[in-house]
Chains A and B, each alone.
Chain A
């Protein structure tokens, strides 16, 4: 059994679907942050069998976690301060997502316009449907960058 120590301040993202932690690492732009990050893959979970966990030691105000709700709203976000869990964040679907999903419609202006961001807008909150801001193409499951 692998042991990773406690963090003083930051986030523990638990119950990440096994294999998804690296994708989340990139979407949260953790590679750009000068902080300690532990990526734990395929940990045993009573709840979901196998899971990934991300531990990020950082100022809790520096990370925008909205994108997590889009990727998987079953992720548990524990907020850590002074080594203790002080909050469990509720994930809310973001209204807009920038450059996370790529529009797959070959007729969309995003396919040719220079440096145009790929923006997806929450079109149906209940069904969790996002559509391209420009061509209104529905976001597919495999369209993340």
Chain B
């Protein structure tokens, strides 16, 4: 039985197969509308999340399956003190596959060890969020036609941004990728990542201003500067508007550059950018559903 805990759990070849399946789903969704009939997805969300939970539920419903679950710890037996190990043993009796989000890091792995059904990590604290990374990779692959051979700019909170770290680790498995890290010094990408890139001879640059590198980028991955990552409000207010993408900054970008964002956006991308054809962050959410559909089919062994 396979689980998904970390974006690197799947080899590059396995990811190719997963993305091919997602592509077939996108091309002919009706063909898959009954693929999971009679199957149930349990969404065990110990902390609130709108997009991820709805994306999983939409994925299962699109496949003709059904969903059950809870959307915060207060409405689950965790509020009575039940352990993750016990909960997953019970959920295994009710459902065929489980997507779990938990504020504690490693909780989905504990679930996977005790589970009788496949478990998907739907985000565990600041640790991993593999389906976001798969979504990012599928979006790039579908819209650029390839993974590899590009310069990607990652902008915003690169210190605490879980999605950024996972994406970097996933992308270094593909050839000819150059990273440009765009962040204030306070939110620089951690040393262990730049050390790892140096060790693997993967080119990267660190710049302070978005304008400094815009014309070089094939992809721009924007992230939110999260209030909860700061110890004091003053630092948050000082930094949050540092890297706002607007039409003026975008005018220096290539015509075929793509703008991605894991969402939710606060104000780091001006709404005037939304209608630009290069802005693909809402399409990205659609690819998130396709990749979760492909993942459910793969983990249930229905289709590879």
Chain A residues with a Cβ under 8 A of chain B = 105, 107-114, 116, 132-137
Contacts and interface: CB of A to CB of B under 8 A. Distances in A.
B83 A135 contact: no
Given A107-B105, A112-B104, A113-B110, A136 B127 contact: yes
A112 B85 CA distance: 12
B84 A107 contact: no
23 contacts: A107-B103, A107-B104, A108-B105, A109-B104, A109-B106, A113-B83, A113-B84, A113-B85, A113-B104, A113-B110, A114-B85, A116-B85, A116-B110, A132-B106, A134-B105, A134-B106, A134-B107, A134-B109, A135-B106, A135-B124, A135-B127, A136-B127, A137-B105
B178 interface: no
B74 to A, nearest CB: 16
Contacts of B69: none
Contacts of A107: 103-105, 125-127
B224 interface: no
A105 B107 CA distance: 13
Given A114-B83, A135-B105, A109 B110 contact: yes
B102 interface: yes
Interface residues of B, number: 15
Contacts of A111: 104
Contact of B84 (A108, A109, A133): A109
Per DSSP, chain A at the interface is loop
B109 A133 contact: yes
Contacts of B106: 108-110, 132-136
A82 to B, nearest CB: 45
Nearest to A136: B127
Given A133-B106, A134-B107, 12 more contacts: A107-B103, A107-B104, A109-B106, A112-B104, A113-B85, A113-B110, A114-B83, A133-B109, A134-B105, A135-B106, A135-B127, A136-B105
B102 A109 contact: yes
Contacts of A109: 84, 102, 104-107, 109-110, 124
Nearest to B84: A113
Interface in B86-122: 102-107, 109-110
Contacts of B84: 109, 113
Interface string B58-101: 00000000000000000000000001110000000000000000
Nearest to B6: A136
Contacts of B104: 107-109, 111-113
Nearest to B105: A135
Contacts of A112: 104
Nearest to B128: A136
Nearest to A116: B110
Contacts of B127: 107, 135-136
A111 B85 CA distance: 14
Interface pairs A-B: 7 shortest CB-CB: A134-B106, A135-B105, A109-B104, A109-B106, A109-B107, A135-B106, A107-B125
Nearest to B107: A109
Contacts of B125: 107, 135
A114 B125 CA distance: 19
B123 to A, nearest CB: 13
A116 B105 CA distance: 13
A137 B126 CA distance: 11
Contacts of A136: 105-106, 127
Nearest to B108: A109
A37 to B, nearest CB: 35
Contacts of B103: 107
